[in-house]
Structure 1
């Protein structure tokens, strides 16, 4: 995994500094200067990201598990600035590369020790590795020029000593010999020192962006991509789907923009984006959706399709049954009204994990706001349920971990801990047939129940 972390850091703007960057980042996670690993946990807790951090300690994180602004909040602005100064790069470059590297480093460091206090030798070694300049990769060019200068100096001295001295040539006996003349001093040859060029800090890279709006079949697109090839590919796909006469807007190309990781998925999704009034936007791995101009049924349908197509992306603006139900709760609603709305909600997790996916964050935020407005004595059980695949104990353990993760996230979002209780049921309470994939999917659920009934 370490080689992967270093490679990704190089691609995220660290370049030849990638190995040292990873070493410095890892050192900061265990250093008493920054409060050690417990200090990192506290900073993430203070930033409302504690559950996210702890999920990396239980399961290897996926790429793009953390955003640069989240990294800056959890890692600490002072530490980001310190690393930037040591490496000669911008703080933005540290945050960009750190967002990709930190989750994997946490997973690596906590694999054997839940509270690491020292760096393993293979990580500590990275602290002492300097970047390799291009000149060094092609040989010791500076040594060649220094030797050449020395040889030239020796050659000048040799020529001067070999030249006949006219002042001491033979003369007639009757002519007094002139006084000896001291040889002319040889000019000192200065050594030429070839200074290696100072490595320039890499330009900060930015995520690819795109905004697309459909108004009566007329498509307007604006954004910024990394290359002309990406731009042409997207433009060709848009023309094929909607027609050249129906396209307008501008897509710029910027070499300091990261590749659009969403490109393939967007092109595959274009047939689903024909609804008039739909607006979507990409900013790196964040997807925003605006379906407010669409009829209710279309809002649900398109939101579900986009969730499926862009699974794992951080999404905002999706319109689900639960979204509508939570938005429709009237002032003074009862606990029963609340759980009816909550049970329309789907909470998604990474496969075989209790890590809540990025696309579930917004609906949980809406749920937290509704729960905080419930009657003061409301107590709600958050039940975790599984399908029948696997062992009974394994299913029970995972369902409990997932229920715990949902409660932790809601508490992180401001719900009073005393309002919620987590309970795992495993596969003991199915609501559909476990013999089919559709049935198993329905059985894998989070269910809310009013306590005391």
Structure 2
């Protein structure tokens, strides 16, 4: 970036130019805008061209900026647009569908083509970038008469078909050009100085009332190259943050969040890093979102593990949310699952009997990969809790681990599967410290149902691991 002549003189004299950006060029303001758009959209290096294309589009409308604003007013979105203007206390969110309603499919597609943004992401990218651009070009409370020169050069000359003008530069006389440009530049510089002087104030486009989402960290180092995603639902608002591998993942997740909770209810700080691995759990998480509306729910993904916090939820919701994470994310290690059996184990008093032990154990829930005897990663914590309880039972206590299935499929296959699952649990308990002589494994197939095999709920209840004291 070129320095002011004043800065050049200072460098020649062996002195550094002032560090504050307000003493730099107008282009520092443009670079800040590009950086904000890059973080809001995940477009990375393409954000420069994207900003240029959008700025060109805005001012190529009939009546320029005011004509662009009228598009939103006609779509019933005037209030949202006005919240983007400089001086408004907080910018309101807009979603991809509302953008399309205001601009029209043809223009949205044209923007995508000229900016080199995939059509499947353009709506969300526009929703992230337009509020920032509108606020920046109206800094100081002035509605610009034409495209500021600092933005005009970002995308080159573009043809918008029926638009009244493409670029202001060259369409007006030199004198009138400077008459509007110089005041605009002065106002932009003053607004930028004010923003910079606020120290750690939120960056352009961040609502002042927004709070940072809970990271739920415990000192554990983040996995190298691992996707992260933290979620908190509090006060009717959803705060999310994290880092994903691609803009596609980011846009898909943002669209799902805003569709589920409402665009005005979601505060997102999602970064894109190409060195991060794809989130294997992303599609399942998007499908789970409608069931994750419980007030006070928190969770945080780090690679293929997630920490779940349901402590603020009523017990029934804790059970439901934990069951969803357990069942929908079988390949993800879930910590913090609420399990009635684990709670019962924690509540055992010193000197508990063998029968009290098995009563608590039979409330636990362990899961297997579909059609196999492989314990899911989330079941490991429950196994460890069960192992500790068995080890603490009265001397000589022996426990039978029983495998049970529903009645679906071949009876012989179910019998074998029940035996294999019982053996898998017994082996896991032994690996967690329980002496092998205190355990036995037995399969019962579908011969001891506790639910109605004609219903899904009944079949789910029948697929279980049971525990009995061996006499």
Q: TM-score when scaled to structure 2?
A: 0.50
User: Quick check: 427-436 or 407-416, which moved more?
Assistant: 427-436
Task: Measure, in 2, the Cα distance between the counterparts of 1:399 and 1:280.
Answer: 33
**What is the deviation of 1:285?**
2.1
Cα offset, 1:342, TM superposition: 0.8
CA–CA distance in structure 1, aligned partners of residues 444 and 292 of structure 2 = 39
Q: Aligned equivalents of 2:405 and 2:255: distance in 1?
A: 44
Alpha-carbon separation, structure 2, partners of 1:237 and 1:346: 30
Q: Is the 8 A contact 2:384 2:432 kept in 1?
A: yes
Match of 1:422 in 2: 441
CA distance in 2, matches of 1:378, 1:410: 15
Q: How does 1:397-416 map to 2 (within 5 A)?
A: 397-416=416-435
Name the residue aligned to 2:257. 238
Segments of structure 2 that go 5 or more residues without pairing to the other structure are 1-222
The answer on whether the counterparts of 1:205 and 1:258 sit within 8 Å (CA) in structure 2 is no
1:450 and 2:461 matched: no
Cα distance in 2 between the residues matched to 1:429 and 1:394 = 16
- Which residue number corresponds to residue 333 of structure 1? 352
User: By how many angstroms is 1:433 displaced?
Assistant: 3.6
CA distance in 1, matches of 2:432, 2:373: 18
Task: Flag the 1:211–1:385 CA change in 2: closer, same or farther, 3 A.
Answer: same
**Which of 371, 378, 386 in structure 1 is aligned with 2:405?**
386
Cα distance in structure 1, aligned partners of 2:397 and 2:442:
17
CA distance, structure 2, for counterparts of residue 389 and residue 398 of structure 1: 12
State the shift of 1:392 in Å.
Answer: 4.2
Deviates more, 1:267-276 or 1:217-226: 267-276
The structure with the larger Rg is: 1
1:274 maps onto 2:293 in alignment: yes
Q: Matched residues in 1 for 2:377 and 2:332: separation?
A: 6
Q: Deviations over 1:325-351 (max 9, x none)?
A: 122212221111111111112222223
Q: How far does the alpha carbon of each residue in 1:185-229 deviate from its partner, in whole angstroms, 9 at most, with x for none?
A: xxxxxxxxxxxxxxxxxxx97121111111112222121111222
In structure 1, C-alpha distance between the alignment counterparts of 2:448 and 2:239, rounded to whole Å: 49
Do structure 1's residue 309 and structure 2's residue 342 form an aligned pair?
A: no
Paired residue for 1:291?
310
- 1:376 matched to 2:395? The reply is yes
Cα distance in 2 for residues equivalent to 1:231 and 1:416 = 48
Secondary structure of 1:401's aligned partner: helix
The Cα RMSD (Å) is 2.2
What's 1:300 paired with?
319
Deviation at 1:309, TM superposition (A): 2.9
Q: Which residue among 240, 248, 251 is the counterpart of 2:267?
A: 248
Query: Is the contact made by 2:238 and 2:267 (CA closer than 8 Å) also made in structure 1?
Result: yes
Check 1:439–1:301 CA distance in 2 against 1; reply closer, same or farther (3 A cut): closer
Pick closer, same or farther for the CA change 1:333–1:282 going to 2, 3 Å: same
> What CA deviation, in whole Å up to 9, does each residue of 1:367-416 have, x standing for no partner?
11221221222111111123334444433322221111100001111111
| Structure 1 residues 133-181: Cα deviation after superposition (integer angstroms, max 9, x where no partner) | xxxxxxxxxxxxxxxxxxxxxxxxxxxxxxxxxxxxxxxxxxxxxxxxx
What secondary structure sits across from 1:358 in the alignment? coil
Mapped to 2, the partners of 1:352 and 1:242 lie a distance apart of 35
Q: Does the C-alpha gap of structure 1 residues 383 and 289 become closer, same or farther in structure 2, counting only changes over 3 Å?
A: same
Distance change >3 Å, CA 369–CA 238, structure 1 → 2: same
- Give secondary structure in 2 for the equivalent of 1:213: strand
Q: CA deviation at 1:316?
A: 1.1
> Displacement of 1:357 after TM fit?
1.7
Q: Once the 2 structures are TM-superposed, how far is the Cα of residue 249 of structure 1 from its aligned partner?
A: 4.8
CA 389–208 in structure 1, closer or farther in 2 if over 3 Å, else same: same
Question: What's the counterpart of residue 216 of structure 2?
Answer: none
SS at match of 1:301: helix
Give the conservation status (yes or no) of the 8 Å contact 2:406–2:449.
yes
